[in-house]
Amino acid sequence: MADAPFFMTAGQIAELVGGRVIGDPDRQVWGANGLEEAGEGDLCFVRSPKYYSQLRASRASVALVSEPVDGITPTCVVVSNPEGAFLRVLRHILERTANPAKPMGIHPSAWVQPDAAVEEGVGIGPFACVEAGATVGAGSSLGAGVYVGSGARIGRSCIIYPRVVILDRVIIGDRCVLHPGACIGGDGFGFFPHEGRWEKVPQTGTVIIGDDVEIGCNTAVDRATFGATRIGTGTKIDNLVQIGHNVVIGEHCVIAGMVGISGSVKIGNNVRIGAAAGIAGHITIGDGASIGARSGVAHSVPPGGAVSGFPAVDHALSRRIMVSQSRLPDLVRRVREIERRLGMG
């Protein structure tokens, strides 16, 4: 522990998360890990009492639990929501440990046009490019190789990781995080058939992203044909997601990896979309709806609805269909036996 850059005691953790210590309040942690992988110096959490048998065998130094546990090695901090408390501790640690990858100042190899507006405390890494008329808000950082197009606006305290592309006139809110390889504002996929060939539809719109949005690696958000593709405040988007032109996504949505959203889809607030789901164009997903992983959504989903399957149907019906499909081989055998007895086969 002597080389650890940061540590907390069980007592300090309890004070931070509003918990109660059972065991040694001076026991220290300088890392965090999962329940099974945790070792000396690690903090872990337990979602429910059914995992307490694993906790008794754990080598963790401190564990966040929802109720007292007998006969365990780790010191415990009892709190109503162990997982939420665990995340709060992680954020606390990250706030107090410097990120050495964050660029400070403007690197000599970066290209910043004279009429670009770069506010106080901005870091711009090697070979980044900020074009004419662009704005980068105070406290934001642009990693190596980032491209910011003409007239684009990046808000305050954003983290733009290396090789992100933000094209002309795109607007990004405050405290957004864009992970490596994300492309914001590429042309929407607009073509129409004309005399035996595909003619490109000019993509004249933009992309507007709200505050506190996070976008994963290699995700593409296409600019609108006209108007704006929009992503609401607080929405979190995973890696390898495709968001088509003129899509509107509400606030505080969660979209898992490899989702494809076709053009002009309207998605409400607090919607959850599972990995590899595909959503057809020009439909509406209501507030609070849930889309199961690998679903094919061809029709609008009402507020609070839950769909899954391919094609996507109500989740309860989808589960019944999956159970029925597993019984098909036995059903076919029975039908063949009935046909044989009736002399039909």
Active-site amino acid positions = 245
d(C-alpha 247, C-alpha 224), whole Å: 8
Q: Alpha carbon of 180 to those of 75, 142, 165, 238: distances in Å?
A: 39, 11, 9, 12
Residue type, 325: Q
DSSP bridge partners of 78:
20, 65
Please answer whether residues 61 and 28 qualify as being in contact, where contact means their C-beta atoms are separated by less than 8 angstroms: yes
Which residues, in sequence order, are CB contacts of 249 under 8 Å at separation 6+?
Answer: 230, 231, 232, 235, 243, 255, 261, 267, 271
| Backbone angle region of 270, left / alpha / beta, with phi > 0 → left and psi within -120 to 50 → alpha | left
Q: In this structure, what token pair is assigned to residue 75?
A: 């010191």
Contact between 180 and 198 under an 8 Å Cβ cutoff? The reply is no
Please report, for residues 269, 270, 281, 288, 298, the alpha-carbon distance to residue 304 in angstroms, rounded to integers and kept in the order given. Answer: 10, 10, 20, 5, 17
| Alpha carbons 157 and 137: distance in angstroms, whole number | 7
Helix (H, G, I), strand (E, B), or coil: what is residue 269? coil
* 178-217 burial code (b ≥16 CB/10 A, e <16): bbbbbbbbbbbebeeeeeeeeeeeebebbbbbbbbbbbbb
Q: How far apart are CA 312 and CA 328, in angstroms?
A: 20
Element (H, E) at 325: helix 315-326
